[in-house]
Amino acid sequence: MTPEQAIRGRAAELGFDLCRFTTAEPPASRGHFDEWLQRSYHGEMGWLERTAARRRNLQEALPGAASVVAVAAAYGCEGSAPPPAAERAACVAAYARHTDYHEVFAPRLERLARFVDEQAGPPNRSLWHTDSGPVLERDLAQRSGIGFIGKHTNLIGRAHGNWLLLGEILTTARLVPDSPEKNRCGTCSRCIQACPTGAIVAPFTLDARRCISYLTIELKGPIPLPLRPLIGNRVFGCDDCLAVCPWNRFSQQGALMLDHVRADLTAPRLAQWLELDAAGFNARFRGTPLMRAKRRGLLRNVCVVLGNVGSADNLPALHRAATDPEPLIAEHAQWAIEQIQARTRGGA
């Protein structure tokens, strides 16, 4: 058995659906990444600029790196599309309706990295990453053959569609690289047309400052007024560009994340979330991706969604939120109240 076969087998034992190999050469997309930063498309995600050198050159992350082990786990297929806003059910992005995958991946990637070192023998070293690490992981995943980067800038797998979570192991071991995947978007532009805010400004180029995932997760301050109505019922993240991709017809559900589904995050009732204090927020969302938005960010999002699709029944909860000691929540609650009152008057 070759080292590559042994590593691939161990990855499967650990629950990963795909495991492939590539070199540690600089990512092909580094020039596009630099241009993206220069246009400030990263918004307030300053760490992307601060760690740019390490993302361009894997030797900055692990001196002597020779290979990359790229792994992926599928997290959804049927039922991953967001519910229509008309249903007034809030939508949490499909990946976030699970335990935080960083926590699921971390012990498995650590064990796989140790296995890689055992297969390669001393003095080889390995370093594992999820997307919290400074690597251009989609570039590496495409180069290893796991999938291809679509026009929406996300990775698409031919066997799993758009529903893939990625991890990487940089290693000084020299492993036989797999063939890269080529782009298979063709003339399709469904993802560009589906984006509610026009954030995909050109094929393969995303202006994160307009992306609902950025606005509801990474943005720390107020959501710009013109963009609030466009958020619709999306309270954390957005799957619209992913859900319309025709490659999803081949998608398969992986077992790893299926064991970590959080059913309580499917079509939640948001008025209840507005009642959560800091302790209640931590208790309810601990171990999920929603913790990243913190209480102030998530309740800000809740107010925006209720302002878009809520009814007069939600006004009491919003009035209480409008007195929240956190100004960010209070301001968005007041905005939501005004939106509901305007709809009520218009329907009278």
Catalytic residue IDs:
131
Instruction: Tell me the torsion sign for CA atoms 241, 246, 249, 255.
Output: negative
In whole angstroms, give the CA distance from residue 267 to residue 331.
25
In whole angstroms, give the CA distance from residue 220 to residue 296.
9
Task: Give the residues across from 170 on adjacent strands.
Answer: 68, 127
Four-CA torsion 103, 112, 169, 251, nearest 10 degrees:
-70
Question: 217 CB contacts (<8 Å, ≥6 apart)?
Answer: 236, 237, 289, 292, 293, 297
